[in-house]
Amino acid sequence: MAIFKRVLTWGLLCILLVLGFREANAIGRFSPVSLRFNAPICGDTAFRARQFSIANYESGSFWPTFWNQDRAELTVGARTSHVNAISFSGDATLVWPSPYIAGNAPGAIDAHGIAISEALAHTLWGSTDIIGQQVYVNEETRTVRGIFRGTTNLALIPFHIEDTSQSWTAAELSGGISHPQRTPFARFFPTRSDAESFAVSAGLGVPDYVIMGGALALARFMALLPVLVIAVYGVVRFVNTVSQKNAVVRSRFFASLMGLIAFALLLPFVLNALPPWLIPNQWSDFSFWSTLLQQANNSTREFLSVNPTLRDVELKIHLLRQGAIVVTGTVLSVIILCLCGSEWL
């Protein structure tokens, strides 16, 4: 019976960990930088922004994908449905990052295609085997290119990247500006100032909202939290056991701990003594770390206050699922440790 409980508990925890990483991967499909504008961006402005990106390609400029959420009338035979529609110009996977169950997302130069959700396919055709079928969208004929997962009736309507007839209220930025002075890991991770600088330089103006991709880092950390709880317990238990058996080991442990604290205190002086080309700016600029919490707070407020689109709602749903999974997994980890002790490890 004890073995059965052990297997059942650890099996449930493993399932929760898999679900947590699955949600983190889903959140990772959303673009790292999203710009929102209260005043629509006209087609000519969007075209000039792309020309700016092409001219500054070698310096690692962003590439914008423009989009706008509205309503559309879709007609197939005698069936007509008024659905939510996202018109876009650029990369469809940045606008709506759900995986495709059939076909593919419309390309950047596709002016006659359409991608629809699984739910909408069943509403209009009663099937998802409809790749290549024709559908009238606001009395314009389009061809179904792909079917993506989703329980909401939603259509993705592409426009050619050189089409200036549309206006947009949002832009997803792919790519990024290379910063040689940063660490190799952070060199291609854009910052808020990078996004705002691009928007102004490309002629888009100052965006009303800038949604950065901090949700991915949060989701990955949350996915690891149940494992960290058990890992920390294991380390503390190991150190405690060893230190009780050997006073020398215990003294060395505390000496090492004091050494780490001393190293942290001396780190600013060590960095100042090194040549500038060896020091990443974000590491040596300790004011960055002091303002990091405030920046995170402001970004969270902005993320919650922006006028929500279906894309934002989808991201928040993934975050809520991740939170529920992680809380359950963490509670289960604590229960295992409190009730079962090291014999379960």
* Distance from chain centroid for Cα 237: 36
Q: Which two tokens stand for residue 231?
A: 């890992």
Closest by Cα among 331, 70, 85, 315 to 211: 315
Q: Which two tokens stand for residue 14?
A: 């493993």
Q: Compute the average pLDDT of residues 78-99.
A: 92
Taking CA atoms, 90 is separated from 50, 70, 156, in Å, by 10, 17, 12
As a whole number of angstroms, the distance between CA 5 and CA 264 comes to 44
β-pairing verdict for 140-148 and 100-103: antiparallel
What is the pTM for the complete model shown? 0.76
242: confidence class by pLDDT, cuts 50, 70, 90 = low
Q: Which two tokens stand for residue 305?
A: 């206050």
As a whole number of angstroms, the distance between CA 147 and CA 48 comes to 32
Q: What are phi and psi of 342, to 5 degrees?
A: -70, -15
As a whole number of angstroms, the distance between CA 207 and CA 194 comes to 12
Closest by Cα among 259, 240, 261 to 249: 240
198: confidence class by pLDDT, cuts 50, 70, 90 = very high
- Angle, helices 310-335 vs 2-28, to 10°: value is 160
Q: Compute the average pLDDT of residues 17-38.
A: 87
CB atoms within 10 A of CB 52: 18
Q: What is the DSSP letter of 213?
A: S
The confidence score (pLDDT) of residue 298 equals 64
> In the predicted model, what is the mean pLDDT of the chain?
80
Q: 136 pLDDT exceeds 80?
A: yes
The confidence score (pLDDT) of residue 25 equals 85
Q: 273 pLDDT exceeds 70?
A: no
CA 64-69-75 angle, 5° bins: 120
The confidence score (pLDDT) of residue 118 equals 95
Amino acid at 278: L
The confidence score (pLDDT) of residue 204 equals 94
Q: Contact 178/58 with Cβ under 8 angstroms?
A: no
Q: 115 pLDDT exceeds 80?
A: yes
Taking CA atoms, 173 is separated from 191, 194, 207, 223, in Å, by 12, 11, 13, 26
Q: By percentage, how much of the chain surpasses pLDDT 70?
A: 72
If you search the block for the tokens 């880092």, which residue do you land on?
A: 217
| CB-neighbour burial class of residue 101 (10 A; exposed 0-12, middle 13-18, buried 19+) | middle
The confidence score (pLDDT) of residue 95 equals 93
Q: 106 pLDDT exceeds 70?
A: yes
Residue with the larger pLDDT of the pair 341 and 39: 39
The confidence score (pLDDT) of residue 277 equals 39
Question: Minimum mean pLDDT among 28-42, 50-64, 284-298: which range?
Answer: 284-298
β-pairing verdict for 140-148 and 134-137: antiparallel
The confidence score (pLDDT) of residue 252 equals 59
Q: Compute the average pLDDT of residues 186-198.
A: 73
As a whole number of angstroms, the distance between CA 42 and CA 199 comes to 14
Question: Minimum mean pLDDT among 43-47, 76-80, 160-164, 189-193: which range?
Answer: 189-193
